A and B are shown apart, each in its own frame.
Chain A
């Protein structure tokens, strides 16, 4: 599977984890590779199928409703060791919203503690109120602030050796208090900036693609694209929120 600079992308349970247009992220990764004549193949994993991580460069986990997220969590539990090996080998993984919560040791569904995948040293409990609204985050992996929308009841707490994705400039982030948003561990990015976060944050998309190429022994360098529209959308929100 996969020769040269063509990337293999694994999209986990797209029919269940697509609450907020999450598939937009896959479209952005695919187009940004195509525009550079790099190409990619997107492998979708559906319910009842076992995800094969052999030859995979990048994994995406979106967010679902509570009910759907629970189904996925049970399903992924059986593939935990393979996912953990992928992460420890420097595999690139993007997880948003509910998917981000799955990365940790546990999260709460109602009052029930659900065991997560323990791919990253973090856990999620709950708080009130639900944290809903526009969000902006300064991160070392993106040249512009990451802008988007968050909508979560969970409060996520990072282990001592886990770096946050960035610092909250507007909105709430992990817990509404620490000023931290998301997690960054090896090449894993978890974030509450939900749904289609890559379209308005092309630098972040390219960071993920570069890391995936590097892991293959490539330089990871990407030909620049004309991001006029993406950056205008980013700038519009940045100006509005500051």
Chain B
């Protein structure tokens, strides 16, 4: 490490100490930003702190959960981990995560898709996990084609990185095929059976990544993920290196057998979530096994996993169960709708849509969500709309056949939910910028 990186690291650590010690703030970006200002290559110099290697997790949905589960599993196995647990997933957040003075065995890093191009050349991770690609924040990220190009370039700049990719997602496989051509090693995971789920909307990737022919599916698990095949050119789901079978989905959570050639079969289960979580856990399990975590240790870590980070977080407010979840794009909301409909209790639903910079200013995507599935359901008793774009959401719901009142505050939504017996839940779904204030308010009221 050169003088410049030493100065950068010291300065970053000082900022971190001030934020932590004096201001009691987590400071997920600022220390890294300070270090990068002094040494733009500081991440390249800090990467050796993770002695066994590093993992970068990216994809439109599920990054934070997958990152946190991998980190928890490695720690349960007695390994030391550096991790941007709070989801500060651009280069400054990564630098912050690597700043602590102790070394570690692994760095487990969540990365924004477009930031991969800055993170990978410096960090040179052992693995890049690519979970899925959905349409999200077009005004900020551009079209999916662009996101794919960026990830391919990032992998080309980090030739020793192995790509662990969702083989069920044609968009991720489009990236994998191109990366493979420039020498990237690719491992694929996926669900190796027909779950018999009712098909939801496929907003993208209906057409072959190579030749443009409409893809055909033996089965789909959700959105564009499934056993796809192009009838004309042979672009298809690859042989899976990590396969989920005997998948169980329901109110009891999700469970599946993970089969791979190295370790045989193991059962993974968690008491929450829907089909999307099978994919996140498949990726996390595969990674943990490759890092040497014993299957039993992984399951123990999962049993004790409760990050309290607003991702499917359960609280009790004034005696009422509240489920808080992030939903920031059509696929995320569609998956949340599936989760709610799998819960047969009466329920109130509060959806918060903001249009701040980190949400995307354009809320057109609300019209790609299948809110129609909530209409006419006797168990969906109360629907309220909140956030800066509550009015847009209310109109969308009206055209879906749902009468929604505006609830400016989450407390208003709780008050309206009082029309239901106390044991019936309130689901609170929010996009990005409203997540933390909503979580804080709910947590305060649940004390």
Residues of chain A whose beta carbon lies under 8 Å from any beta carbon of chain B = 15, 18-24, 27-28, 31, 47, 65-67, 71, 132-134, 149, 151, 194-196, 199-200, 229-230, 232-233, 236
Contact = CB atoms under 8 A, between A and B. Distances in A.
A236 B206 CA distance: 36
B436 interface: no
Given A27-B367, A28-B399, A47-B214, A65 B394 contact: no
B309 interface: no
B138 A151 contact: yes
B75 interface: no
Interface residues of B, number: 24
Contacts of A200: 392, 395
Contacts of B144: 65
B139 A195 contact: no
Contact of A149 (B203, B362, B399): B362
Given A21-B365, A149-B361, A199-B367, A229 B138 contact: no
A156 to B, nearest CB: 19
Contact of B391 (A21, A65, A229): A229
Contact of A233 (B212, B214, B394): B394
A98 B139 CA distance: 15
Interface of B: 138-139, 143-145, 203, 206, 212, 214, 361-368, 391-392, 394-396, 398-399
B138 A19 contact: yes
**Chain B contact residues, majority secondary structure:** helix
Nearest to A133: B361
B399 A31 contact: yes
Contact of B145 (A67, A149, A196): A67
Contacts of B203: 18
**Which 4 A-B pairs rank lowest in CB-CB distance, beginning with the nearest?**
A21-B367, A24-B367, A195-B364, A233-B391
A20 B364 contact: yes
Contact of B368 (A18, A31, A65, A194): A18
B364 A65 contact: no
B392 A233 contact: yes
Contacts of B361: 133-134, 149
Contacts of A66: 143
Contacts of B394: 229, 232-233
Contact of B139 (A31, A132, A196, A229): A132
Among B143, B395, B399, find the residue whose CB has the most chain A CB atoms closer than 10 A: B395
B145 A233 contact: no
B140 to A, nearest CB: 9
From A21, A31, A133, name the one whose CB has the most chain B CB atoms within 10 angstroms: A21
B364 A233 contact: no
Contacts of B367: 21-24, 27, 195-196, 199
Nearest to A28: B399
A28 B366 CA distance: 14
Contacts of B392: 199-200, 233
Contacts of B366: 21, 196
Nearest to B362: A149
Given A18-B368, A21-B368, A71-B212, A199 B396 contact: yes
A20 B365 CA distance: 6
Contacts of A194: 364
A28 B398 CA distance: 10
Given A19-B138, A67-B145, A196 B391 contact: no
A199 B395 contact: yes
Contacts of A149: 139, 361-364
Contacts of B364: 20-21, 24, 149, 194-196
Contacts of B143: 19, 65-66
A27 B399 contact: yes
A65 B206 contact: no
B368 A229 contact: no
A5 to B, nearest CB: 21
A233 B404 CA distance: 13
